[in-house]
Amino acid sequence: MGDVEDLGQLSLVAGEAIGQPGQRRFRLCMLGADRAAACWMEKEQLAALGEAIEQALRDQGFEYRPPAPDDAPTEPPFPLNPEIEFRTGRLSVGLDPDGQMLFVTAGDAGEPDDPESVEVRGAFSYVQGHELAEQIKEVVAAGRQPCPLCKAPMDPSGHMCVKRNGHQSH
């Protein structure tokens, strides 16, 4: 295994989309005490991460209670300038039920045994996990609207709909 960077307890964990719908790139941002990481991934990977977190919290019987206004998180320090940045090939979620913590581990697309491979880990509270899962839903849903006929994403100019025999749909 190459570098394994443990960011420890994260002060920020966030899903983000950059670019215009149809041309967006997705990443998971993690900010530890002294380092930041950006794990670039496919939209489906980010959505699956949110679903895995939701399922883990549901399995633990976690009930979200919004923080008091004084304890509400401050705006994240975007743009994040990560020291660690890579394209995600491996992604996993773990939990510590006693400490009510979730862990996310992301590795690059290389082979895990490769000495050049990169992996980053971070821990965050169940509350942060719930908020991350909700944020991921919003990020993923903010893309292109689906075609009412074939459900494929439509560009602002429309798309060639298979249900209309390739005719333009708006």
Per-residue pLDDT 10s for the chain (170 aa) are 566 799 999 999 999 999 887 788 999 999 998 899 999 999 999 999 999 999 999 999 999 988 777 665 555 555 567 889 999 999 999 999 999 999 999 999 877 678 888 999 999 999 999 999 999 999 998 876 777 777 676 666 666 777 776 555 45
Residue 163 within a domain: no
pLDDT for 3: 67
pLDDT for 76: 56
- Domain span at residue 32 reads 3-144
Residue 165 within a domain: no
Residue 156 within a domain: no
Residue 98 within a domain: yes
Q: Where are the beta strands (DSSP E) in 19-141?
A: 25-31, 36-41, 84-96, 101-108, 118-125
CATH code: domain of residue 37: 3.30.2450
Is the CB of residue 145 less than 8 Å from the CB of residue 136? no
Q: Count of domains in the chain? A: 1
